[in-house]
Amino acid sequence: MKKTFLLKRMLLFVGVMLVAAGSQAQSASLLWKVTSQGSTKPTYIFGTIHSIPQSQFFFPEAINEALKSSDKLVLEIDMDSTEELATLPSLIVLKGKTMKDLLTAEEVKKLSRYLSDSAGIPFEQVTAFKPFVFTSLLLPKIVGSSTISYEQHLLAAAKQMGKPVDGIETVAEQVDAFDKLPMEQQAKQLVEMVSDMNKAREEYQQLLNAYTNQQLNKIAELTEKSNKDFPQFSQVLITDRNVSWIPRLEKIIGNGGAFVAVGAAHLPGSNGVVELLKKKGYSVEPVTIK
């Protein structure tokens, strides 16, 4: 049970909040209703933030009603599948190298010291892991220890309602997106983060404020700004995945009656899920939730 919980927590952190370049004016809502001529029931798409302080968590009745009226819950990945969860451990380990091979001796010293002093994690125990795993381990130092996940909340609610759970992509596909980015670049970004954690906390707080105010364009603006030195991250982790999701979402929408929850960063922009579905001819309308 404990191992399964840790794997689910890791999967939440894999969904890093990045955003595709480009902006397009969008209504201030995290919940969208998608309909097509062939579907008898609408599909709802909800933008999540993968980790939020419990004190700022909100789940208005409009979201709960949309989930209740749906036939199933669809997350980025099926977090209720033990088979999917079981694939993660083998995917998060570097092949033929360690973090020491990706960083200078000084950078290794800086990262090791921070992990040990601030997180209580011996560097030698985690040096074989990929850079994004380190980010997941350190995220509580940015967000805080008392947090909640929208994905976990939705998963629990769907199971209580007796609704099946599915995923848009597999764990392997999500991790593969990270693998397409240079490991050295990911490692350097990690060192930059631990070198200025106050900046990381400030950026997260700004992002959180934009999320709680349902400002999709602001989320796009902030995350693009924080990622300006690594534009490839947005292309690979957001834009490319959005494009690959559309045929799968079309099948889900065609069947109707699904509640789809993905990171809010996937929604805005000309290459966001909302606009890509509109270009395919679907009616995509914001739903007022608070």
Q: Which pLDDT tens digit goes with each residue over 124-164?
A: 999 999 999 998 888 889 998 788 999 999 999 999 999 99
pLDDT digits (tens, 9 = 90+) for 192-217: 999 999 999 998 999 999 999 999 98
For residues 47-76, average pLDDT: 95
Task: Concatenate the DSSP letters of all residues of 169-222 into one string.
Answer: S-HHHHHHHHHTS-HHHHHHHHHHHHHTHHHHHHHHHHHHHHHHTT-HHHHHHH
One-letter amino acid of 290 = K
For residues 78 and 153, the answer to whether their CB atoms sit within 8 Å is no
pTM of the full predicted structure? 0.89
For the ranges 208-212, 221-225, 255-259, the lowest mean pLDDT is seen at 221-225
What is the rounded CA–CA span in Å between residue 221 and residue 21?
A: 9
Determine the average pLDDT of the residues in 67-86.
Answer: 95
Q: Give the model confidence (pLDDT) of 170-190 as tens digits.
A: 999 999 999 999 999 999 999
* Ramachandran angles phi, psi of 263, nearest 5°: -55, 135
pLDDT, average across residues 95-122: 95
- What's the chain's average pLDDT? 88
